[in-house]
Structure 1
């Protein structure tokens, strides 16, 4: 069930005070620290503008670890069955609003260091009311000049000013823990605050933090607010009275009095000056009363829309969040799971994952191919090696775990929780869907956390040593990570070279046949069943893999030869971008000598690995017309030179070295060893290119020249992949 309603902000503050609204422990930082940003939302409230939505999830207190709003402190709810509104979206705005218009955040923290952000929350906001003597130099939003507040019915009447108009009248004043200032929350509320508010040189200050009284001193806070507004009104009256007394004649007095009264009252006051004090007293009370009423109405009718979602609609809550925050930080299934697991352990779950990712790892190198064994051994000995760190599962600078990692973590947890003893014959697509994952037992995730992290690290080890993957985002089909990690939850399988061989064969056959190009969920479940049944000996037949191998570079409209040679562009069919990387990664997995230096071996673990760039073997310049820009060709997906067959990884330095070479000179630099390693046909030679240039080919002939070369490379590549995939399972 989902409820939508407006809100009385004072009621929301009371809910925060009573710890009925809490923040699940999502590791979300408080980011609205900028004073100007905070002023903007204050202006929206005080000009009666909408201020957005908050998304609340109703659930039992026992469901999620949580914190108090605005605080680092964990909330401890005595009744675990109590229904709580967990704040999923709106943390930033609700924290700011609660801090600006009440004391509730400070009352719930033992000391200022407990605040979620000292920089952003050690502030007090005031509404500055200009002095009457200065009003001609300012925008008179509050009816100071004629001492008449223009809004008489704030329940139904909006102001005639906008947020930008009121912003100059919002004062923000910081404080430190022990500065003794009368507005400091650590200082007892007293008339010292009144004195401070009335003695400001630029006007009178209304403390906005008194608008929502909370705590044991709620009545005192309310009284203080009333008195300060009334005293501001009296100060304005005193300014007007003093100005009137300084006038020199009746004409000046009449003009002056017409600012405040109609002609009949002006005449009475001129005839009897004692009436002025009575009339100004009346205006004073009216102005103060209307200002208080307006400010209270701004708060009680703050246009903050509440969306309340029940526990049974948790997955829908995430969709709502994502729709509210298009382009922003996305609430994920992992966020909710992380808050659930927080109830099982005092150790912060996010930090626990980071610790697991960074922890030293042990690898059984006997599972590696011979060519990779020495490379990885040297890397481990010289630099230490952690597959998760190397692949970028965690970004240290941003303190951010890759979303691909957390997605795979939850998928593996759900698959294993719902299919005990690695028997995945009953596995379902739903086991990797949000509803199923959100219902996982938090104790299971807590207990299996380290095992799942180890399984993911093993999967990264596999992808780096077998599949030419350098970074986590290069795993194009993310559910392949889930599948491999799920298999490697089994220690015996991880330590068996034949299992690695099987998975590698499956991987290359899958990516080059388009097996995972659509419907990843059902494909993952199907492949998981086939692989684990084979490993358990339940189905020793690998015909399914043989069939998959037959489709390598032969899947219609995905990897068939005509498509890769750009023969289908007239039907608006062009190769998909991942194929380019699959081809480059295939060669990287097998290692090869640098195209231009036989002394450099290119692999995932080479020093230049992270700087490798996808390079056109046949340069774009070979297809360039007179006056045409290569950048234009680079963006033309139908150009034959942009076929996936025309790419290989080379170093940035190598790319720079050959950038100005003529075609024949470029071809001469390509080493024979790299031609063999990279399946570069012998037709791509300096002599052929010299003839090609001399012949001054037309557009079609230039394209045909490249197609002939790429056709030969296709044949060699297809044969090599199929042969390699077959040899792995023999």
Structure 2
């Protein structure tokens, strides 16, 4: 059993720490206030689970702070307790009762390192508002505690002030507040504290952030909250004396508890004893409230302590008691393990920084690029960072690839198993393996992201049809000779498109991925092409990518999102022209779209964004009897991916009111290059007099299906010209 204060002391001494696989602090102010109300009313705050170990076992942090502990090699061998459960609660309470900003010269550095929701100072309000209970006995300066109250009677008295870095520096509660004396000099030391205490008392707010006094700091003789309480008590006594003089209150009723003989002193007009009694009333009330505050952090916390031999099960234990509905991220555990490396530093920060860096692109990668070829590229434009955090896809595939590189030796196919891309193998990685393979893994992943964008039309990583297809590619591109070899990249692209469009990844993706890691690497090393048997299944796999599915004639199967996305990405990979008027040419390519590159067309400037465009517009066919509601139905043939392509939002605004035949005439013939549209446009996209509406829709989609299939197969033949079928 530990008290709240004991936990804080241990945390200050790096003896109770947060393992770095713990979630970030996430509680909002209402949830924090609710917990504090429970603490104020002596309700149980819940237990904590701690694991005995040594600091070297995991990267660790202090409660409330983002930054990992900076500890020496000697300290790393010291015993500690890892907090497995109770972080949100303990962090809330420590933040409320501790003054993180006590060093006024360093408060900005502290502010930078605190979790956003903990950049605060907490108070309780003494004076009740109209209609509120007088829970602190302000009216007569009588206080008996809050243990008989419900939290909802207390919660409105607990107030928080958000500490901003550049605003509110003129507010007394702000650590940057610098009032001056009558001579224009900054108040410091006790004069400053006295000034702040007076301002706090004027607002009837008692700071609770001075209640806990850290062992590492010299304890204040009179913490700020005590000074505020004394000022409040003295001021209230003056008010009560005036109320007695006005006949509004009875002096005996007010003072009999602190001085039983007050009635006699009052009758005898003994001013000395009466003054003493008033002073005693003020002192007793402030002492009681102060004692109440100190005892809040003396409350015991039920503690479950696990012995050090349970470290290997720490993660499983954490997950079993973690109430967060989001499962613990294996990536966080690997980051914590990696901190044991001699090089130190944060693995997550390293990955984050690498994802922002530019890399040199190989000539082999850019071989087929039309127009200007970029020489360098940064993976962050693909969305590898999500709100400046490493994306889930990157985290997951980093772990998978790290595990594969750590366990798999090429040529020993039996050494690679599905287990290597599962949680158990991830968590079995030790810090030496992490250290050895991190750089290789990162380089392979980043090269793979570049390949997917420049060869496969993937604009954002989040739109990748099958994440696991990253792994066979990365396993090849980890090797410099392959990264710089056009024939190798052609084989990878062949494998990618044939796998996507034939449905090889529609089921049992883990198993398919592991098999492809071996087979693709073997083929690249002049082995056998084991993927050619899928050639005839391209956009012809029943229930997945067949013509019946794509034209919505298969009543038992939906069009997979992977196929919808991949058809758009394949088109973009061919760098088609935008749908612009004659004389205006703009290549649509994935890297410029991802960058939202600024474009100038005929004096108009815009940022390049694409829209999923209906080639035969929905508004056109409403003229021939179809209702808008029916057309918006995803089951309608015009919502088939065979009637969709990417064009810029700028182009879409120019043609939005035109019919298909009108805008296809309006744009140049070359502008629809590589959109795989049946030609001539005026003939193919005009409804024939003998055609029913349904026949017209089916014809234009069927003709485009043929165009796309032929284009994909022509592409594969070019990528692997020695292929035989």
Q: TM-score, normalised by structure 1?
A: 0.77
Distance 2:714 2:234 in 1: 93
Distance 2:2 2:636 in 1: 58
Pick which of 455-464 and 409-418 moved more. 455-464
Counterpart in the other structure of 1:616 = 614
- Partner deviation per Cα, 1:119-156 (whole Å, 9 max, x = no partner): 978876554534xxx9889863311213332547x2x6
Distance 2:119 2:591 in 1: 50
Distance 1:212 1:423 in 2: 60
Distance 1:55 1:167, change over 3 A: same
Counterpart in the other structure of 1:557 = 543
The partner residue of 1:724 within 687, 712, 715 is 715
Counterpart in the other structure of 1:197 = 197
Distance 1:368 1:194 in 2: 70
Distance 2:193 2:120 in 1: 15
Say if 2:498 is the partner of 1:501: no
TM-superposed deviation, 1:28: 9.3
Report SS of the residue matched to 2:332. helix
Counterpart in the other structure of 2:55 = 61
- Partner deviation per Cα, 1:431-474 (whole Å, 9 max, x = no partner): 12233223323233334333323222321232233212233223
Distance 1:708 1:419 in 2: 51
The partner residue of 2:415 within 408, 426, 430 is 426
Tell me how large the CA RMSD over aligned residues is.
4.9
Report SS of the residue matched to 1:174. coil
The partner residue of 1:14 within 6, 9, 15 is 9
- Tell me if structure 2 keeps the 8 A contact 1:393–1:472: yes
TM-superposed deviation, 1:19: 1.0
Higher helix proportion (structure 1 or 2): 1
Counterpart in the other structure of 1:575 = 559
Report SS of the residue matched to 2:17. strand
The aligned runs of 1:94-113 (5 Å cut-off) are 94-95=90-91, 97-103=93-99, 111-112=106-107
Say if 2:532 is the partner of 1:546: yes
Report SS of the residue matched to 2:333. helix
- Tell me if structure 1 keeps the 8 A contact 2:578–2:672: no
The partner residue of 2:137 within 135, 140, 143 is 143
Distance 1:166 1:38, change over 3 A: closer
The aligned runs of 1:345-494 (5 Å cut-off) are 345-366=343-364, 372-373=368-369, 375=371, 378-380=372-374, 384-386=375-377, 388-394=379-385, 399-421=388-410, 423-494=412-483
Counterpart in the other structure of 2:153 = 161
Distance 1:472 1:104, change over 3 A: closer
- Partner deviation per Cα, 1:529-548 (whole Å, 9 max, x = no partner): 222233446xx443x41333
Report SS of the residue matched to 1:485. helix
Counterpart in the other structure of 1:246 = 245
Pick which of 266-275 and 198-207 moved more. 266-275
Distance 1:295 1:347, change over 3 A: closer
- Tell me if structure 2 keeps the 8 A contact 1:574–1:637: no
Distance 2:378 2:198 in 1: 64
Distance 1:304 1:124, change over 3 A: farther
- Tell me if structure 2 keeps the 8 A contact 1:475–1:481: no
Counterpart in the other structure of 1:715 = 706
- Tell me if structure 2 keeps the 8 A contact 1:47–1:161: no
The partner residue of 2:569 within 543, 565, 585 is 585
Counterpart in the other structure of 2:71 = 76
Distance 1:308 1:663, change over 3 A: farther
Distance 2:126 2:179 in 1: 25
Distance 1:643 1:146, change over 3 A: same
Pick which of 679-688 and 475-484 moved more. 679-688
TM-superposed deviation, 1:255: 5.4
Say if 2:500 is the partner of 1:511: yes
Counterpart in the other structure of 2:601 = none
- Tell me if structure 1 keeps the 8 A contact 2:197–2:224: no
Counterpart in the other structure of 2:511 = 522
Distance 1:403 1:483 in 2: 19
Counterpart in the other structure of 1:647 = 644
Distance 1:236 1:304 in 2: 40
Report SS of the residue matched to 1:115. helix
TM-superposed deviation, 1:725: 2.7
TM-superposed deviation, 1:549: 2.7
Report SS of the residue matched to 1:420. coil
Report SS of the residue matched to 1:209. coil
Distance 1:17 1:320 in 2: 28
Task: Point out where structure 1 has 5 or more consecutive residues left out of the alignment.
Answer: 1-5, 182-186
Pick which of 613-622 and 672-681 moved more. 672-681
Task: Point out where structure 2 has 5 or more consecutive residues left out of the alignment.
Answer: 163-170, 182-186, 597-608
TM-superposed deviation, 1:643: 0.7
- Tell me if structure 2 keeps the 8 A contact 1:675–1:681: no
Say if 2:642 is the partner of 1:637: no
TM-superposed deviation, 1:519: 3.6
Distance 1:241 1:208 in 2: 26
- Partner deviation per Cα, 1:85-113 (whole Å, 9 max, x = no partner): 45688877755642431357859x99545
Report SS of the residue matched to 2:686. helix
Q: Number of residues paired by the alignment?
A: 684
Distance 2:265 2:487 in 1: 105
TM-superposed deviation, 1:712: 2.5
Distance 1:702 1:352, change over 3 A: same
Counterpart in the other structure of 2:585 = 600
TM-superposed deviation, 1:216: 6.3
Distance 1:245 1:716, change over 3 A: closer
TM-superposed deviation, 1:411: 1.9
Counterpart in the other structure of 1:3 = none
Report SS of the residue matched to 2:453. helix
Report SS of the residue matched to 1:161. helix
- Tell me if structure 2 keeps the 8 A contact 1:357–1:393: yes
TM-superposed deviation, 1:39: 7.0
Say if 2:336 is the partner of 1:339: yes
TM-superposed deviation, 1:516: 2.2
Distance 2:303 2:454 in 1: 52
RCO higher in 1 or 2 (8 Å CA, sep ≥ 6)?
Answer: 1
